[in-house]
Structure 1
């Protein structure tokens, strides 16, 4: 056999071995990349935020929206306490680049209850049920969010672990540094609360989230105008769980990732009372 032909055969075999080794060595990397893509699915968090007209409204919504921009797969449901959508909220939502739904409904005054956000949260739940009934992906988490609270990004990571109803501590609420579920052996056995601790669930609205699919299984679950402020949490939770079925998150309820902060009521000087009134600023949205 000519030397040239032998050289070509060795070269061909060498190339074949090189290709096989290359594919073999890169196979784990390909598998790792595929596994990572599969695990990137995150259930949608539906954040329900009632809001009402006040001087600090835009400031509060702006601050909250900046936090939510950092939350993956988040759908913000904002409900105005109004007869119609206001330009201020509509513009803010549109410019936020968040995925959102903008709703409105006016609060019905009642002598039986002074609770706020009842009609607004129920309007959001009506939208949610309709949305989920038509969606292919019905998985998700429902979280009731006040527009002036403070949220760590860690709280959103925690609530994606929820099977039915998850709970965690809330800072600066109920006259306490922290109001929290008491956990023993991974089970909620009570609550550390001093404000009306006899409530069925002495917990703040920011201290729990619910599997979104459960709202399809419980079509009657809603808030009630017949229930006073502070008992609305118990009113909604009674449809889904009991104290002993609650899922303690945030390291067995030992970490605070949300705070019940409140914006200080603004005090504006009446320009008519000033000797030298400032230039009119009614044309500027604040």
Structure 2
């Protein structure tokens, strides 16, 4: 009996030692299970999601109430969701942020800030006034600029881009702009009555612009065609969009505030001669008014289109209006 008990204890001891040895050996090995899925990016009022180590991109989007507003914000949000190190600043043309836009942002998965700034009645135009009578979105973009100046430090890296909610954006565009230090530029498709507008580049420097409408503008660029370094923006606290700017001059009113006279380089015999913007393909302009050589060309020296000035067709709701008059309109509690 004693021999049997001793044998049992001996076997138990040996098994315990083997088990302990195996456990110690496994401690140094990585877990064989698959890694957990990354946490889904959530919308936040501050901060930037993902892309650790990358300079953040602040995308500013003015928006206003209309039947296609939610559809366009959803579409844009699903593009921005794929861009790392991005913060979306959405500014409504309203007295206060709306639940509709807030719901889209909260569900988007994009880091965001939701603001509002109402356009004064005198800058809206009367009934039947053409939409181009006053520049749209100036007050909202200026509200976003104020938020950036209030919340970002002067030495923070970053890029600021003004993205309307009805345009179409290639993901590559955001990587092209990420290294912006001053003002980077690129072509925009389907704008200004042309297939594309673009800066003209020679020797890696912008020498002019291909544009067909008001080529004498200081910066004949579409809003979607440039990005600004955050440090440059914060170093020029008076740069803003002029809500009373002449048609087509809204971009120039802002960019002109980022260039000081001392930075300009004279051209055309010390600015005494009138010349043309750029080389073959340009339509004319004035040398010396600004220095296009300060601009940073992107998109393969401005030869590739990565953003398009698209517009959603205005929906025809005549049947809806007819049914509403009959008291049979679509359920108003269903958000469209």
TM > 0.5 fold call:
yes
Residue pair 2:181, 2:232 contacting (<8 A) in 1 also:
no
Query: 1:146-166 deviations in whole A, cap 9, x for unaligned?
Result: 000000001000001212110
Q: Which residue of 2 aligns with 1:95?
A: 107
Gapped runs of 5+ residues in structure 1? 1-38
Query: 1:46-85 deviations in whole A, cap 9, x for unaligned?
Result: 0000000000000000000000000000000000000111
Question: Which of the residues 273, 283, 297 maps onto 1:248?
Answer: 297
Distance (whole Å) between structure 2 residues aligned to residue 272 and residue 227 of structure 1? 36
CA RMSD in angstroms, aligned pairs only: 2.0
Q: Which residue of 2 aligns with 1:70?
A: 82
Q: What is the number of equivalent residue pairs in this alignment?
A: 246
Deviation at 1:276, TM superposition (A): 8.1
Deviation at 1:270, TM superposition (A): 4.3
Q: Which residue of 2 aligns with 1:30?
A: none
Distance (whole Å) between structure 2 residues aligned to residue 62 and residue 186 of structure 1? 37
Matched, 1:140 2:158: yes
Q: Between Structure 1 and Structure 2, whose CA radius of gyration is higher?
A: 2
Change over 3 Å in CA distance of 1:272–1:131 after alignment to 2 = closer
Question: Which of the residues 58, 63, 86 maps onto 2:70?
Answer: 58
TM (norm. structure 2) is 0.70
After TM superposition, list the pairs within 5 Å mapping 1:55-204 onto structure 2.
Answer: 55-110=67-122, 114-133=134-153, 138-204=156-222
Deviation at 1:229, TM superposition (A): 3.2
Residue pair 1:116, 1:229 contacting (<8 A) in 2 also:
no
Residue pair 2:134, 2:244 contacting (<8 A) in 1 also:
no
Distance (whole Å) between structure 1 residues aligned to residue 330 and residue 302 of structure 2? 50
Question: Which of the residues 200, 205, 209 maps onto 2:227?
Answer: 209
Matched, 1:43 2:55: yes
Change over 3 Å in CA distance of 1:273–1:184 after alignment to 2 = same
Deviation at 1:213, TM superposition (A): 1.1
Give the SS at the match of 1:238: helix
Gapped runs of 5+ residues in structure 2? 1-50, 126-132, 260-290
TM (norm. structure 1) is 0.81
